[in-house]
Amino acid sequence: MAVDQQAPAAPISRVRAWIAAARPATLPAAIVPVVVGTAASGRGADLRVGVFLAALAASILIQIGTNYSNDYFDHVHGADTGSRMGPRRLIQLGIATPRGVLTAGLICFGLAALLGLYLIWVGGWPILAIGIVSILSGLGYTGGPWPLGYHALGDLFCFVCFGVLAVTGSAYLQSGEFTGWALAASIPVGFLVTAILVVNNLRDIPTDRVAGKHTLAVILGQKGARAEYALLVVGAYLAPPAMWLFGHGSAALLLPWLSLPLAAGALRTVTTQEGPPLSLALKATGRLHLVFGLLFAIGLWG
C-alpha cells in the first residue's frame, strides 16, 4: 500500500491507479465473510443464490468505498505522505483530486446501499442495522470527528464488522435466524481479517506516529503488533477444531489447516521483517484469508 522514496515511481495509467487504490489485496476481507456465513447457514441445496450474490456485491462495494474514503481522510489528516512505505495513493500521484477520491468512495457506499434495499426486503430491520453500522464504520475508520483508526479502535471494529456482523448477517439472510454456529464461524474469519489490518498498520507505524494516527500498532509498538498478528493467526487455526470437538460439524472443518504453509510464510515475514517487505506480507495475509476462508466454507458446507 505504499512505495518507499528511493527512486521515482514508474508512470502508471489512470485505470491501473484506480484499481490499485481499491486495494485488491484487501478484497478477501469482503468476500470471505459472505461465503463463510452463507455456508454456515445450513441451507445447502436451498441456497438463495440471488441473496448471496447481492450480499457479496454489497460487501465488496463497502470494502472498496472504505478504501477510497480512507485515502481521502488520511490525506486530509496528513498520514499519506511521500515517506509512506506502501503504494502511493491517487492523490499523491496527482491522478485524482481529494474530492474526486471521496466522491468515488461515496458512490461505492451508495451502490451498496441500493443493493441493501433488496437485502433489507429479504431480511428486515436486522439487515438495515448491520448495513448502517458497516457503512458508518467504513467512513468512520479515518473520517468523522473521532476517527476509529486514529484512536486504536480500528482492529476491534474490523473484527466486529468484517467478522461477526458480516458472517452472522450473511447466514441470517439465508436461514432467517441468528445462530451460535454462525457466530462461532465468524471468529476465525474476524481474526484473519483483523490480521490484514494489523500487518498494514505495523508497516506504517513510523509515518502514522508522526501524523498522530494512533493505531493499535502504534500504541503496542513493533513487538506488540507482531505478537497481536501471531495471536490472531494462531487463534484462527484453533477455532475450526474447537467447533468440530464441541459443535455438530464434521472432520471436514479441519480443511483450513491445509493452508498452514501460507500462514507459516506470512508469520515468518511479519515477525522478522520491517518496512517494504511488509507490503508483501499484507498481500500474503490477504491470500491466506481467502484460502483459509474458502476451505472453511467447504468444511462448514459438509
pLDDT at residue 112 in the model: 96
Mean pLDDT of 99-126: 95
pLDDT at residue 11 in the model: 56
For cell 463463510, the residue is 36
Find the angle CA(89)-CA(149)-CA(35) to the nearest 5 degrees.
80
- Domains defined along the chain, listed by start: 15-301 (1.10.600)
Average pLDDT, the chain: 88
Q: Please report, as a single letter, which amino acid is at residue 212.
A: G
Q: How confident is the model at residue 2 (pLDDT cuts 50, 70, 90)?
A: very low
pLDDT at residue 208 in the model: 87
- Residue 241: count of CB within 10 angstroms of its CB: 15
pLDDT at 106 over 90: yes
Mean pLDDT lowest among 26-40, 133-147, 148-162, 280-294: 133-147
Residues linked to residue 196 through DSSP beta bridges, in sequence order: none
Contact 37, 185 (CB under 8 A): yes
pLDDT at 121 over 90: yes
pLDDT at 271 over 50: yes
Find the angle CA(55)-CA(56)-CA(60) to the nearest 5 degrees.
115
